A = this chain, B = another copy of it.
């Protein structure tokens, strides 16, 4: 039986590329086949997994330029039955896609706000007068480019191939080291691995409360690879903290740290321990052939 993998759609998004990478890895490693299901938002993607409508979900959690994907963090906190099965890191290379015969003819550039932000320097240099139009997904405007030859869109090279559209420039991201980390989540207990993620709220804004909680890890020589705060949504200045630890939750030091953490937090949610999937050149850039092969699973 095929597993269903929920992701932010439509076809051609980076989230779909990540879901496809995971799906290919799953088949290679376990023989398990899967089908991809596209959802209109990250929240709906995770809700589908939390409700059992999809077996797995693949969502972006962090980009090396734009930082945390706050929608994913808020949804992970809300649907607190989700467990992380795997992390995967994908390189991001943005292309300027357009049917204009020359760059100078482009009057408007459409893309997701994060992609527009990641190419701001390039746009300021080469298309300083173009209007920037935010869209819900990088691929949203692609279907209109043939009709409007003064419009451009920023999306992946793969999206240009899938929609059969010309690339005028690539890569156009301002920083070459542009990566996005995705999480694979499900309702199953996580399988264990090199990284553990958790989040907590603190009883009140006590001076030094966070320093004390971080000291729990530091005193055990546990490396935190990431710490992020999010508003509790109760009152300005009240925060939740999300922490990634470079260790398995079953390690004795982590077990003892978590036990101590429980005493000092209001709510503590443990999203599980998981491996980080190594990406090789084959599954970095799924081709159209991969996509078509994928669709035959449905």
Chain A residues with a Cβ under 8 A of chain B:
43, 62-67, 70-71, 89, 113, 117, 120, 132, 134-136, 175, 177, 179, 181, 205, 207-208, 210-212, 214-215, 217-218, 221-231, 233-237, 239
Q: Are B214 and A211 in contact (CB-based, < 8 A)? A: yes
Smallest CB-CB separation from A112: which chain B residue?
B134
Inter-chain contacts of A113 with B (CB < 8 A): 113, 134
Cross-chain contact of A218 among B62, B205, B207, B228 (Cβ < 8 A): B207
Inter-chain contacts of A181 with B (CB < 8 A): 236
Inter-chain contacts of A71 with B (CB < 8 A): 117
Q: Are A236 and B177 in contact (CB-based, < 8 A)? A: yes
Inter-chain contacts of A211 with B (CB < 8 A): 211, 214-215, 217-218, 224
Q: How far is the CB of A112 from chain B (nearest CB, A)?
A: 9
A67-B70, A226-B237 provided; 20 other pairs, C-beta below 8 A? A43-B120, A62-B236, A63-B236, A66-B70, A66-B231, A134-B134, A134-B135, A177-B234, A177-B235, A207-B222, A207-B224, A208-B214, A208-B217, A208-B221, A208-B222, A210-B224, A211-B217, A211-B224, A212-B218, A226-B239
Smallest CB-CB separation from A73: which chain B residue?
B67
Q: Is the interface of A mostly helix, strand, loop or mixed?
A: mixed
Q: Are A231 and B64 in contact (CB-based, < 8 A)? A: yes
Inter-chain contacts of A217 with B (CB < 8 A): 208, 211
Q: Are A214 and B210 in contact (CB-based, < 8 A)? A: yes
Q: Are A65 and B132 in contact (CB-based, < 8 A)? A: no
Q: Are B226 and A226 in contact (CB-based, < 8 A)? A: no
Q: Whole-angstrom distance between the alpha carbons of A26 and B135 in the complex?
A: 38
Smallest CB-CB separation from A230: which chain B residue?
B67
Q: Are A89 and B236 in contact (CB-based, < 8 A)? A: yes
Inter-chain contacts of A175 with B (CB < 8 A): 233-234
Q: Are B235 and A64 in contact (CB-based, < 8 A)? A: yes
Q: Are A226 and B229 in contact (CB-based, < 8 A)? A: yes
Smallest CB-CB separation from A179: which chain B residue?
B236
Most chain B CB within a 10 A radius of its CB, from A132, A177, A207, A221? A207
Q: How far is the CB of A243 from chain B (nearest CB, A)?
A: 10
Q: How far is the CB of A151 from chain B (nearest CB, A)?
A: 16
Cross-chain contact of A208 among B117, B223, B233, B234 (Cβ < 8 A): B223
Q: Which 3 A-B pairs have the closest CB atoms?
A: A208-B218, A211-B218, A211-B214
Inter-chain contacts of A67 with B (CB < 8 A): 70, 229-231
Smallest CB-CB separation from A135: which chain B residue?
B134
Q: Whole-angstrom distance between the alpha carbons of A225 and B209 in the complex?
A: 10
Cross-chain contact of A207 among B62, B66, B223, B230 (Cβ < 8 A): B223
Q: Whole-angstrom distance between the alpha carbons of A175 and B233 in the complex?
A: 7
